Amino acid sequence: MNTVAIIGTVGVPACYGGFETLVENLLDEKDSSQEITVYCSSKSYQDKPVKYKNANLHYIPLHANGGQSIPYDIWSLCHAAIKKTNNILLLGVSGAICLPFIKLFSKAKIVTNIDGLEWKRDKWHPLIQKFLKFSEKLAVKYSDTIIADNQAIADYVTQEYDVKSEVIAYGGDHAVNSSLNLSDDNYALALCRIEPENNVELILEAFSRTNKKLKFIGNWDNSDFGQRMKAKYQSYENIDIIAPVYDLDSLFELRQKCSFYVHGHSAGGTNPSLVEMMHFNKTILAFDCNYNRASTEESAHYFSNIEELVTNINQEAEIDNGNNMLEIAQRRYTWKIVKQQYFNLLN
């Protein structure tokens, strides 16, 4: 039987982010001829089932994120290699530092999704950036196949390493969990982790200069930056600062009733929250960067500063790209398509 190890996530059931949601959906229609093992963090699950959606779960007694992410991935890779797994799907490059060693005694095919060029993110200390860049280099050199979730990242890999990568994004159709009954309750919607690179302050400041209502969902209390933004802007009558919403039904209602969606991400390749929103036939205003332009095929409306976003907000009646966003989403960002692309590489 063909065996596959999935490494680099917190685990399943999904409780964290984009990679976890990816794994959750890959397991939904896995090939019955494949035996899949998902490596999970025992620190994140009170209950520790050994099976989930017919996949095996193996627990590592470390945190999957933060300072323990590197030994967590290395431990997982070594265990999968010792088990003589046929295929390893590595999500992220934190543990890629050990791939030269793994290749010495394992014949496993290694497929690595290099994520969103983590080393470029301003939130990391320069030494961590250098380590992540080195890990990325090793991942590209020692993996059999590289996956990029965005054409802009694929172009970077070709230019930087002269290596061709497979472009596979994320599905977003799981966000539409019942029939759409679209309405416009006269508010804009934003949703992200509250970090400077997601242009949180730019978005808040722009809306503070308009009368348009904004519902902004995020983890405001998890950082000094988020707390400062919340304290500064929650007094504006047209700005609702909303805590994280994890329930898909609640998110579904918020998404289908908004006037338009504001996407401020400036890093990280294809963002899952963007492709999810593209399935709702709503106008999208996106920060102007190569990742967002690639994800939306240059068909959204873009802003690069406060003034441009204010102009877009004030001209919302003249802006409509929802049909284009939906067409792109149905053509590129469904889990049926994404799963087939992944499993074609893991055979």
CB 88 within 8 A of CB 58: no
Name residue 47's amino acid: D
CA distance 273 to 335: 14
> What is the pLDDT, as a whole number, of residue 124?
74
- Express each pLDDT in 51-89 by its tens digit: 999 899 999 999 998 889 899 999 999 999 999 999 999
Name residue 290's amino acid: N
CATH code of 173-332, in short, is: 3.40.50.2000
Domain 2-168, second-level architecture: 3-Layer(aba) Sandwich (3.40)
Q: What is the mean pLDDT of residues 10-16?
A: 82
CA distance 120 to 125: 10
Q: DSSP character for 273?
A: H
Same topology, domains 2-168 and 173-332? Answer is yes
In the chain, where the domains are located: 2-168, 173-332
Sign, CA torsion 65/66/72/74: positive
- Encode 149-158: b = buried (16+ Cβ within 10 Å), e = exposed: bbbbbbebbe
Name residue 22's amino acid: L
End-to-end CA distance of the chain: 10
Name residue 107's amino acid: K
- Express each pLDDT in 200-218 by its tens digit: 999 999 999 999 999 999 9
Q: What percent of the chain has pLDDT above 90?
A: 80
Q: Which pLDDT band, with edges at 50, 70 and 90, does 179 fall under?
A: confident
The pTM of the full predicted model, rounded to 2 decimals, is 0.90
- As given in the structure block, the two tokens for residue 304 are 């690069």
CA distance 60 to 58: 7
